[in-house]
Structure 1
Amino acid sequence: MAISSETIRKPSKPMVNGFDPASVGNLPDDVQKSIRRRDKSLGPGYRLFYNEPVEVVRAKGVTLFDRDGNDYLDVYNNVPCVGHAHPRVIAAVHEQMQTLNTNTRYIQESILDYSEQLLSTFPSQLGHVMYTCTGSEANDLAMRVAKYATGHQGIIVTSGAYHGLTAEVASFSPSLGVGVPLGANVRVIDAPDALRFSSDNETLDEHLRTQVRGAIADLHRHGIGLAAFIADSIFSSDGIFAEPTGFLRPIIEEVHAAGGLYIADEVQPGFGRTGAEWWGFQRHGIVPDIVTMGKPMGNGIPIAAAVFRPELLEQFGKNIRYFNTFGGNSVAIAAAQAVLDVLREESLMENSLKVGGKILTELKQLTQDLEQVAEVRGSGLFVGVDLVTDRATLTPDGDTASAIVNRLRQERILISASGAQGNVLKLRPPMPFSMSDADRLIEALDRAFKVMH
């Protein structure tokens, strides 16, 4: 049976690699001063990474630099997908800023050229694109369209899902924890964790189908029909689940049978990061009704979008006034076009497959005899290392994950962690990550694993 919104009131786990303000007195004087200034002006809502925060003053490619010129290998930031400060993106934005920056209510060839090229990366059934500034806005728009098209309000998500920060989108992002309660129209199913799934009666596919059916039935019992199921196609905040491919098919079948829509959140796995395809959902052989994207789309310039089956927008477009002043503005489109060009011309999707494959293969070899590494998994340049207290119980070990994250920070290699207990090391670098970059990462992880062992 799926979990109702009323039963998932877990306290949120602190960010596994987050800075503990209580330790500020142990840091260098200049860092303490900066933190105190930050707290005074920005307040307590902001967080810093790592036990010893990193100050960055510039970046290039896959490398960040501090004020002393020390280099940090970036194995975390997917936003600069074509690399920090890529000259093509810089030039495109600079040139466009000198020429024109305005909204989508004027005819401009640039947005038409980009939209046609972007849509060409999708299955033919997906034919319209609408622009926003952030992935949160894109998911908000997608859900508005889903509710309007179906006439229903119910939403199904996975147990560790994160889809954004607006009030609406946060209401179906369970990973935010008890401080952000789920909406009464939200139902939660298990993450597709093949490692921990065990049953004599059903396969993982059948289990996911049963979960979705249960969620739909529960929505109906409460007088709420199904609007949409939404999932990040790599399940990044759930713990990174890429295999076995095809496990999304029973979900989309049940959703469509109930009259709902399937929304693929491609903010994290999209634009070729998983290696084999442009979009994460394609690995599973499905065609969603709506696809959302964001962060990497402009390499740091705020632009996001939602792509739709055209029939979903026929009545919505006629009857709903939707206009986003900055969504799809001239400068943002110039950045997005440069990113798309670079992804193709520098073969970054192929690079993700090649370098990501090396990382995945070598980490599996390194950890095959380690009791505290349950699994290494992922696709392309999106890799997770699942840490446990032991392989027999598969109990998540967030403390060890935090220790490794912070140990690598001391070696000037920046990673993060995800999963319900913060126990999955998350490796998600910019896409120009090279074989030598991979070697540096693997060697550092090898040293960390040996200390752990």
Structure 2
Amino acid sequence: MSAGGMVNGFDPARTGSLPDRTRTVVERRARALGPAYRLFYSEPVQFARGEGVYLYDLDGNAYLDAYNNVPSVGHCHPHVVAAVATQAATLNTHTRYASEPLVSYAERLLATLPDALDKVMFTCSGSEAVDLALRVAAAATGHTGIIVTANAYHGTTARSAEISPSLGPGVPLGAHVRTVAPPPSDATDPGAAFGSAVAAAAADLQRHGFGVSCLIVDTILASDGVIPDPAGFLEPAAAAVRRAGGLVVADEVQPGFGRTGSTFWGFERHGLTPDLAVTGKPMGNGQPIAAMMARDEVLAPFATAARYFNTFGGNSVSIAAADAVLDVLRDEDLPGNARDVGAHLASGLRQLGDDRIRAVRGAGLYLGVELAGADGAPGTALAQAVVDGMRQRRILISSTGSDGACLKIRPPLPFTRGHADRLVEELATVLATIPPGAV
């Protein structure tokens, strides 16, 4: 890893070696924003515009975007752009006024969920939605103990950061937080193994007087290295935490809104109905909107004891964008496209035949390619070299996992088979330029 524990991060010590135009912006950025901000790639890239699954740099060169899930229905989708522009020119208010479009969207969003999840509250970001879910879970259970996966990422607010081990040692976990490793790939019964680990974590929280508030899990385990299978392996863990008196919170910021292809929500692949679910980034295709969905009986203790307000959460313009996103997902059948193109892409990646590829995992258009290094250890340096090599060939991917050795492929949902084929071809080329054993 580089850049203070961030995978695929630019090393500021290399600023002087950048081309003049990029170096100037990077230096100005550092002076204005400070050192906490990070940049991608060994050589950062500047973009001027986006369209569909492409981003264009200052010279007009097109980069195939196989990374960004925020513009889930494509960069600058015309239907979303029109909805935002029209609403911005008409009215933009908060949720304290009676608003039919707000209520209509809430009803439409809830209709995509199991009947048990019948309430929604709006925020501006996934981090805020996670923060709210943790408050709701604590009010419902009377406990504070939280269980997360070993390299989870759930946000950057104070509450969500202290349950995000992927942020590194500079952001310590709360004393009330326990981590569990994902099931090993060779586990005979991954569900039972993961369920036992969660049960042990719950018992430890109880022993230390925290009790069990919730298990919160990204249902594709993205930051743990993209672990979507076997479908259903989360059910024993959910049962274990509920036996301990806790709730199940599904973090759908990354797998939700049709990305996994076979289902609209990632938790549905596991046959699981959570007590709370949160979503964010893809919801408004770049507009700041996120949400927490809840069972009525779970929300009630919090809702009756505290009022909730978010000035910009659920504002009129963001609601218009979110409503337009649902239109595009339906009209262009993007979940179906994610299923079909994702399967095609996964097949192509598995056929590369490079011994350094340990595994190709994924669901729909969320894939992880685990790499091995020269000595068979996790291919952290190899992954960074591949990510940079793909960037030089104008294809954007990243890496993930506790050791950064898993390539992360997560494109906008209009990705086609042609785009997938190009990605596979370019990956083969990049791997061929890195001799086995070199990194």
TM-score normalised to structure 2 length: 0.97
2:196 — aligned with what? Answer: 210
Contact 2:178-2:205 within 8 A present in 1 as well: yes
> Does 1:57 pair with 2:48?
yes
**Structure 1 residue 13 displacement after superposition:** 6.1
2:108 — aligned with what? Answer: 117
> Does 1:339 pair with 2:325?
yes
- Deviations, residues 44-69 of structure 1 (Å, cap 9, x unaligned): 11111111110101110110111111
> Does 1:371 pair with 2:355?
yes
1:315 — aligned with what? Answer: 301
Contact 1:19-1:50 within 8 A present in 2 as well: yes
> Does 1:269 pair with 2:255?
yes
Which residue identity is paired with 2:406? V
Aligned residues: 435
Which residue identity is paired with 2:357? V
Contact 2:348-2:421 within 8 A present in 1 as well: no
2:405 — aligned with what? Answer: 423
Contact 2:3-2:12 within 8 A present in 1 as well: no
1:230 — aligned with what? Answer: 216
Within a 5 Å distance, the mapping from 1:45-444 to structure 2 comes to: 45-194=36-185, 197-198=186-187, 203-367=189-353, 370-389=354-373, 395-444=377-426
Secondary structure at the counterpart of residue 213 of structure 2: strand
1:7 — aligned with what? Answer: none
1:3 — aligned with what? Answer: none
Contact 2:5-2:168 within 8 A present in 1 as well: no
**Structure 1 residue 14 displacement after superposition:** 2.8
Contact 2:2-2:11 within 8 A present in 1 as well: no
Contact 1:12-1:176 within 8 A present in 2 as well: no
Which residue identity is paired with 2:343? G
Contact 1:374-1:394 within 8 A present in 2 as well: no
Percent of aligned pairs sharing the same letter = 54
Secondary structure at the counterpart of residue 366 of structure 1: coil
Which residue identity is paired with 1:214? A
Secondary structure at the counterpart of residue 226 of structure 1: coil
**Structure 1 residue 25 displacement after superposition:** 2.4
1:445 — aligned with what? Answer: 427
**Structure 1 residue 193 displacement after superposition:** 4.0
Between the aligned partners of 1:214 and 1:13, the Cα distance in structure 2 is 32
**Structure 1 residue 325 displacement after superposition:** 1.1
Secondary structure at the counterpart of residue 432 of structure 1: coil
Q: Which runs of 5+ in 2 are unaligned?
A: none
Secondary structure at the counterpart of residue 374 of structure 1: strand
Which residue identity is paired with 1:438? A
Between the aligned partners of 2:156 and 2:103, the Cα distance in structure 1 is 29
Deviates more, 1:26-35 or 1:89-98: 26-35
Shift in alpha-carbon separation, 1:38–1:12, aligned structure 2, 3 A: closer
1:6 — aligned with what? Answer: none
> Does 1:37 pair with 2:28?
yes
Contact 1:154-1:227 within 8 A present in 2 as well: yes
Contact 2:358-2:372 within 8 A present in 1 as well: yes
